[in-house]
């Protein structure tokens, strides 16, 4: 592990420009972030686009669910300041020179899970990013599918304090989950990483910690002094 955690820009530099867009990725580099995190979804016609919410209502001038829309319909929308929704290829191209890239695959319908994961893996391989990418998801069957077709691509299990029981992540079971899903990383909300016992258990099992949910400068200053792999944060200037 490096001396200080890597700083990963959550949805890009979202405090300064529209989140999950090409400008957000470019601004992250200008602010000296070590990497970027972004969210992947699939359109009705099978295109991979980058957006956090399942509905476009909050982040664009449009309405509707990404999975029900075509790529062309989405591309016609304004996602802030005249910016268009990017494809996964466009984001990977923009972020390819950063130290680390965190691709979060949003929960897909079961019927298209294999197709979506396969396309994500193809995009990673297209840009030869296997050694700097981390694929994460709250949907652990997605991680299983990544490992089935691309065991060399590092993965992280996402979870938060709000659903630790649901995912079996309480009372030390997070180690068993990581082992079971062959994940190299755990991606918990930062409150877990504050625990020395949590960090010790992960270190003993060679599981990295990339924590998230850091939105305040105070928390950021604390987290960047802890022995974790990375912090996924909105705070790039603190």
How far apart CA 139 and CA 5 sit, in angstroms, is 25
For residue 2, pLDDT beyond 80: no
User: Cβ(113)–Cβ(48) under 8 Å?
Assistant: no
- Give the pLDDT confidence of 145-160 residue by residue, as tens digits: 999 999 999 999 999 8
Nearest to 49 by CA among 89, 96, 17, 95: 89
pLDDT at 170 (0 to 100) = 79
For residue 163, pLDDT beyond 80: no
Q: Tokens representing 81?
A: 């300041």
For residues 235, 17, 48, 156, the Cα torsion angle rounded to the nearest 10 degrees is 0
CA distances from 131 to 27, 29, 37, 57, 152 (A): 23, 19, 15, 35, 9
DSSP one-letter string for 183-195: -SEEEEBHHHHT-
* Catalytic residue chosen out of the listed positions 52, 63, 162, 181: 52
Q: Which residues contact 169 (CB under 8 A, 6 or more apart)?
A: 159, 163, 177, 188
How far apart CA 189 and CA 176 sit, in angstroms, is 18
First to last CA, the chain: 23
52 in active site: yes
pLDDT at 161 (0 to 100) = 76
Residue 144 dihedral angles phi and psi, to the nearest 5°: -60, -40
* Catalytic residue chosen out of the listed positions 4, 10, 205, 206: 10
How far apart CA 108 and CA 127 sit, in angstroms, is 23
Determine the average pLDDT of the residues in 109-138: 98
pTM: 0.96
Nearest to 137 by CA among 105, 180, 184, 185: 105
Return mean pLDDT, the chain: 95
Burial classification of residue 104, based on how many CB atoms lie within 10 Å of its CB (0-12 exposed, 13-18 middle, 19 or more buried): buried
162 in active site: no
């Amino acid at each position: 592990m490096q001396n200080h955690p890597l700083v990963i820009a959550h949805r890009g530099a979202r405090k300064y420009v529209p989140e999950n867009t090409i400008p957000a990725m470019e601004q992250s580099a200008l602010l000296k972030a070590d990497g970027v995190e972004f969210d992947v979804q699939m359109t009705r016609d099978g295109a991979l686009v980058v957006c956090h919410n399942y509905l476009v209502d909050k982040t664009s001038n449009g309405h509707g669910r990404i999975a029900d829309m075509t790529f062309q319909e989405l591309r016609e929308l304004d996602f802030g300041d005249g910016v268009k929704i990017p494809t996964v290829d466009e984001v990977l191209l923009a972020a390819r020179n950063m130290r680390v890239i965190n691709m979060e695959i949003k929960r897909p319908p079961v019927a298209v899970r294999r197709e979506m994961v396969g396309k994500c893996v193809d995009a990673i391989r297209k840009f030869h990013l296997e050694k700097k990418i981390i694929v994460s998801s709250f949907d652990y069957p997605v991680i299983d599918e990544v490992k089935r077709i691309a065991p060399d691509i590092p993965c992280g299990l996402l979870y938060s304090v709000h659903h630790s029981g649901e995912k079996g992540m309480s009372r030390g079971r997070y180690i068993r989950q990581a082992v079971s899903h062959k994940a190299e990383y755990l991606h918990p909300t930062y409150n877990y990483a504050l625990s020395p016992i949590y960090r010790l258990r992960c270190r003993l099992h060679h599981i990295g910690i990339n924590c998230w949910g850091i939105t305040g400068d105070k928390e950021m200053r604390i987290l960047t002094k802890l022995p974790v792999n990375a912090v996924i944060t909105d705070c790039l200037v603190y």
